[in-house]
């Protein structure tokens, strides 16, 4: 058996086309152009690349975007003031503070400073709470992208046993909450495993849908999977590869080659979950702009 490859790039492009259409409609019917503000603290090269890619995504769909670059030494107070400026700017509908932040800044305090209506990353406690009770919210982008990948690839999680390995606040916990809701696109039976699991293999073996968000290169192999499982690999890990340009390549938390002969469907790394994160950020920002025009 060779698995269906779930093409995240293609699905993300489709979502971007939909966001672009929605943006054009919002501009012509309400005169509103969605605006997204990025706050980037310090010179972390990976963060710079992410913000650049997100800015490019904004351009593609017709958003306005601004980037506020602050030095790594910026005080927490100055950062919070910047957030507040964007909270009060009617042309800005979404605010994204790129993580990680320097150690002297309290991440949670920053999340709480963003107006919940502009919290397009979905990390404000009000939005997290609404997600848990199944209310209207901004779902965090990576988990929202996973749900879209499942639905748009014909792998509805309803009634399925979903096993998530990893319980971080940005991936594991939110995707568990999203998929267990009694709602379309969800209604799964969810197990969340982590380093405290006594028999991790036993949980993985019972997964109809396995979501790996561990951060360990090729940790899950084909023989660990249930025959016919759907595998969503969130992991992005660098491994040495002298034959590759730059001397390394990216792999997931799942050993792709062995898994694809056992799984029914699988996301590749790169080109699976990764591209979906930006697409969902754009989708959340369009939603925020629509909401603001209805107030
Ligand atoms: P974290 O490091 O925050 O969390 C990892 C989780 O995996 C923890 O809950 C940890 O358990 C669990 N874990 C680690 N080792 C084991 C083990 N041996 N057995 C069982 N559980 C284990 O990672 P993130 O959630 O932030 O990210 C996970 C991966 O996804 C990373 O590779 C990251 O780069 C990638 N990622 C990709 C994104 C994308 O857009 N595609 C977005 C975000 C992340 P415990 O809690 O017990 O320590």
The rounded distance, in Å, linking the Cα atoms of 33 and 26 is 7
Residue 57: CB within 6 Å of ligand 1? no
Query: If you average pLDDT over residues 33-52, what whole number do you get?
Result: 96
- Rounded to 5 degrees, what are φ and ψ at 154? 80, 25
From the CA of 245, how far away is ligand 1's center (Å)? 26
Residue 195: CB within 6 Å of ligand 1? yes
- Rounded to 5 degrees, what are φ and ψ at 147? -60, -45
pLDDT score at 276: 98
Q: Please check the confidence at residue 1 and state whether its pLDDT lies above 90.
A: no
pTM confidence score: 0.97
**Which of 93, 103, 97, 90 minimizes the C-alpha distance to 69?**
97
Per-residue pLDDT tens digits for 211-235: 999 999 999 999 999 999 999 999 9
Q: Is 16 a catalytic residue?
A: no
Q: Is 121 a catalytic residue?
A: yes
The tokens for 104 are 């002297």
Query: If you average pLDDT over residues 103-130, what whole number do you get?
Result: 98
Residue 128: CB within 6 Å of ligand 1? no
- List of E strands, the chain: 4-5, 35-41, 64-70, 94-97, 161-165, 189-193, 209-212, 230-233, 237-240, 248-251, 265-266
Residue 238: CB within 6 Å of ligand 1? no
pLDDT band, very low/low/confident/very high, at 198 (cuts 50, 70, 90): very high
Query: If you average pLDDT over residues 71-100, what whole number do you get?
Result: 98
The tokens for 205 are 């073996």
Residue 142: CB within 6 Å of ligand 1? yes
pLDDT score at 75: 98
Per-residue pLDDT tens digits for 92-114: 999 999 999 999 999 999 999 99
Q: Is 14 a catalytic residue?
A: no
> Which SS3 state, helix, strand or coil, does residue 202 take?
helix
Residue 145: CB within 6 Å of ligand 1? no
SS3 string of 124-189?
Answer: CHHHHHHHHCCCCCCCCHHHHHHHHHHHHCCCCCCCCEEEEECCCCCCHHHHHHHHHCCCCCCCCE
For ligand 1, atom 4: residue with the closest CA:
168
pLDDT band, very low/low/confident/very high, at 294 (cuts 50, 70, 90): confident
List 7, 16, 118, 121, catalytic entry = 121
Q: Please check the confidence at residue 118 and state whether its pLDDT lies above 80.
A: yes
Ligand 1 mutation target, pool 170, 214, 269, 281, most atoms within 8 A of CB:
214
For ligand 1, atom 47: residue with the closest CA:
195
Q: Please check the confidence at residue 148 and state whether its pLDDT lies above 80.
A: yes
pLDDT band, very low/low/confident/very high, at 295 (cuts 50, 70, 90): confident
Residue 267: CB within 6 Å of ligand 1? no
Ligand 1 mutation target, pool 11, 98, 139, 168, most atoms within 8 A of CB:
168
Domains of the chain: 31-115 (3.40.50.10860), 141-274 (3.40.50.720)
């Amino acid at each position: 058996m060779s698995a269906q490859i779930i093409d995240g790039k293609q699905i993300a492009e489709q979502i971007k086309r939909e966001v672009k259409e929605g943006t054009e409609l919002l501009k012509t019917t309400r005169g509103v152009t969605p605006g997204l503000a990025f706050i980037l603290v310090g010179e972390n090269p990976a963060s710079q690349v992410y913000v650049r890619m997100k800015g490019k995504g904004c351009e593609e769909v017709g958003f306005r975007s601004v980037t506020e670059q602050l030095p790594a030494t910026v005080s927490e107070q100055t950062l919070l003031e910047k957030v507040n400026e964007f909270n009060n700017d009617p042309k800005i509908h979404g605010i994204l503070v790129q993580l990680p932040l320097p150690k002297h800044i309290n991440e949670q305090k920053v999340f709480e400073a963003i107006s919940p209506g502009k919290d397009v990353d979905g990390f404000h406690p009000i939005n997290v709470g609404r997600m848990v009770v199944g209310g209207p919210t901004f779902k965090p982008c990576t988990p929202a992208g996973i749900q879209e990948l499942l639905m748009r690839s014909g792998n509805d999680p309803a009634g399925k046993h979903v096993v998530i390995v990893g319980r971080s606040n940005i991936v594991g916990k939110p995707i568990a909450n999203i998929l267990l809701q009694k709602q379309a696109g969800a209604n799964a039976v969810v197990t969340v495993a982590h380093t405290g699991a006594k028999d991790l293999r036993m949980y993985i073996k019972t997964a109809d849908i396995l979501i790996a968000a561990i951060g360990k290169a090729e940790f899950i192999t084909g023989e660990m999977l249930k025959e016919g499982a759907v595998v969503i690999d969130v992991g992005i890990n660098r491994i040495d590869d002298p034959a590759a340009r730059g001397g390394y390549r990216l792999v997931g938390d799942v050993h792709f080659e062995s898994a694809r002969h056992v799984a029914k469907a699988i996301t590749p790394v790169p080109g699976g979950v990764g591209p979906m994160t930006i697409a969902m950020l754009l989708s959340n920002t369009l939603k925020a702009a629509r909401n603001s025009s209805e107030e």
